[in-house]
Structure 1
Amino acid sequence: MAKVTLHMVSSLDGFIAKKDEDVSWMHSKDTYREGKTLSEDDIEQFLKSVDCYVMGSKTYEHALKLGWPYGEKPVFVVTNRPLKTEKASISFYSGGLETLIKEELDSKFQNIWMVGGSKLAKSFLKEDLIDEIVITFIPVVLGDGLLFFDFINMEKELHLRDVTAFNDGMVELTYEIKK
């Protein structure tokens, strides 16, 4: 069975973007001497461990504007809108999320990363399709914007599995979802 990880980058006050969808604040200029320094090899090893990505259409469009960071890894874009791509690694999907994970991806991939946005993240959580949540906090308070979790109307018990502080002041928390 595949493991599905929900990954999100957030401000300390829980926003994933400003109201105008700006994410330029996601690069920290802080320094924390005791934090981990990521090498190019660390990043390469991590990227090799991810088998495929799942995202919503707005995240897809935003990633295209910023410069596609997913290389040639398979990417499944959940959308009801007609979108186009020239990349062979991108597939568009408009069915049920459980069908996507259990029937389409589970048998083909071991490590699936769901990378945005907040509506899709809530749907994955509500349908109990997430095994773990990895959230990276940027050392900034935005005060307003698009919330990571807003009014999810459910309770999920989590187990803290790992904490990593980075030398740029970012902190990554990894939670297992108790089932």
Structure 2
Amino acid sequence: MTTPSEATLQPQAVVYDSITGVPSEFNEFLPKDCEEYKKWVAAKEAGLEGEAGNLSLADKEADDVEKRLPGGKVKKKTKPEIVLEVATRSKKKSVTTILGLETFGVKLPEASKLFGKKFASGASITKSPTDKDQIEVQGDFLDKAAELIVKTYADKGIVKKRIYFMDNKKKTHYFDDE
């Protein structure tokens, strides 16, 4: 029987990732918003996990069509869209909700101010149940809001086929002409 002093212990070799600079086992636990994590995810999706690749974030975003979730599930990347909804509050009061403007690069505070001035009503930014920011405008402005969005934000890439409205809890294209 050997005693602990007689046993020869060999040091364990730690392999550091060439992209992130941390041991490979720790890559998935990096903060999701740091540059190293984003580069590692891009390299992993491109199949370059062990290699030192100079991948930019633009390359990652261009190739990012799906997202891996825990458990191996794959979530398809959704196309940006704007969803309009009118909800009735009490009696004759209603609220128009505009969701998805930020996916086109529209600044919500500026858009909220624009809707408030154009419709002469209160407009504010609130959180949706899915934790996304949305604009709520007091009153039923479904038609006017859709037209204003297309006219004002055409330079941001907003086209008529990306605008939907909620009809009886069912998402429907707002404009039928395209």
**Does TM, normalized by the shorter one, top 0.5?**
no
Task: Name the larger-Rg structure.
Answer: 2
- Greater helix percent: which structure? 2
TM score, norm. by length of structure 2: 0.22
* Bigger relative CO (Cα 8 Å, ≥ 6 apart): 1
- Greater strand percent: which structure? 1
TM score, norm. by length of structure 1: 0.22
